[in-house]
């Protein structure tokens, strides 16, 4: 943006008078110019903030845009990391995150002491920052369709965290994906799922970040909208598919949440591997 665009704001004080004095004496004439100047400055500050740190739009800003008007469980994951550490202890040493905007979650995990992290992004990365591109190039983050087997050996990770991914799957595909999540984890799977009635991002909104790996898959599964299930639905599903709740981790998580006055905006389930 050229410097000429801010000239109208600078001319508010022209004519030999003090800028503030001039604004009082010709309020009707200067107010529109002042508004334009403030808008220009605000736009410059926003652009500078969005591109800070990673050579491209920041992960947080991008994630908020994806889920604008809806609740994002992925944005909640970094906030919950200290609580998860209390609940899982050493099991947080090798973590796999599965879900959209996994680069931001993995980057946060890698900053934690004694923690290794990897991610699976279920959407194609059409446009992303330098940090995310670096994680993909190093093989730390992989782009994969989660309806197929995950590209990892059994028990490759101590803990698997999944967010904003299972809500968009029908039971037909949940039957394939959840066993895969438990297969690659050694100590458990943590699921972040939306509450019924919550405003959630639709696939059309998610595509602002990237295209679904298989459009036919989402069309066939009817996953144009998040399927927000109640806790009773999830528990019944876990029982029917012989997925056992990790009661010990769940209890520790609740205790740590209460101590930190944390109230989840998403449902959190803890499963054994």
Looking at residue 72, its pLDDT comes to 85
Q: Does 47 or 129 have the greater pLDDT score? A: 129
**What distance in Å separates the CA atoms of residue 91 and residue 1, rounded to the nearest whole number?**
49
For 60, 107, 141, 157, 176, the CA distances from 95, given in Å and listed in that order, are 20, 12, 12, 6, 21
For 5, 22, 31, the CA distances from 17, given in Å and listed in that order, are 22, 6, 16
Alpha helices by DSSP H, 51-140: 59-66, 77-88, 102-110, 130-137
For 185-196, how does the pLDDT look when each residue is reduced to its tens digit (9 = 90+)?
A: 999 999 999 988
**What distance in Å separates the CA atoms of residue 204 and residue 225, rounded to the nearest whole number?**
9
For 2-53, how does the pLDDT look when each residue is reduced to its tens digit (9 = 90+)?
A: 333 333 333 333 433 333 334 434 444 445 666 666 666 566 655 544 443 3
Q: Please name the residue that has the structure tokens 């000429």.
A: 4
Looking at residue 126, its pLDDT comes to 72
**Domain range summary for the chain, segments of one domain joined by +:** 3-50, 59-271
Residue 167 has, within 13 A of its CA and on its CB side, a CA count of: 34
Looking at residue 33, its pLDDT comes to 65
Class of domain 59-271: alpha beta
- Tokens read off for 74: 């992925």
């Amino acid at each position: 943006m050229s410097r000429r665009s801010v000239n109208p704001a600078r001319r508010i004080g022209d004519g030999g008078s003090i800028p503030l004095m001039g604004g009082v004496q010709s309020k009707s004439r200067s107010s529109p110019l002042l508004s334009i100047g403030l808008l220009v400055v605000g736009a410059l500050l926003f652009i500078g903030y969005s591109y800070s740190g990673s050579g491209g739009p920041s992960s947080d800003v991008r994630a908020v845009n994806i889920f604008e008007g809806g609740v994002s469980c992925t944005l909640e994951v970094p906030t919950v990391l200290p609580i998860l550490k209390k609940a899982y202890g050493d099991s947080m040493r090798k973590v796999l995150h599965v879900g959209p905007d996994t680069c931001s979650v993995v980057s946060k995990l890698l900053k934690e002491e004694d923690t290794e992290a990897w991610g699976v992004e279920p959407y194609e990365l059409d446009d992303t920052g330098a940090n995310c591109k670096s994680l993909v190039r190093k093989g730390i983050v992989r782009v994969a369709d989660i309806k197929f087997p995950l590209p990892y050996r059994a028990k490759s990770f101590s803990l698997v965290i999944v967010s904003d991914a299972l809500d968009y799957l029908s039971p037909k595909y949940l039957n394939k994906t959840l066993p895969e999540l438990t297969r690659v984890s050694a100590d458990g799977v943590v699921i972040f799922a939306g509450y019924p009635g919550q405003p959630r991002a639709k696939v059309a909104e998610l595509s602002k970040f990237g295209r679904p790996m298989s459009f036919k898959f989402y069309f066939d599964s009817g996953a144009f909208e998040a399927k927000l299930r109640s806790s009773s639905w999830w528990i019944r599903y876990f029982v029917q598919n012989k997925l056992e709740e990790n009661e010990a981790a769940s209890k520790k998580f609740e205790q740590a949440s209460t101590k930190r006055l944390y109230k989840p905006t998403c449902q959190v389930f803890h499963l054994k591997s």
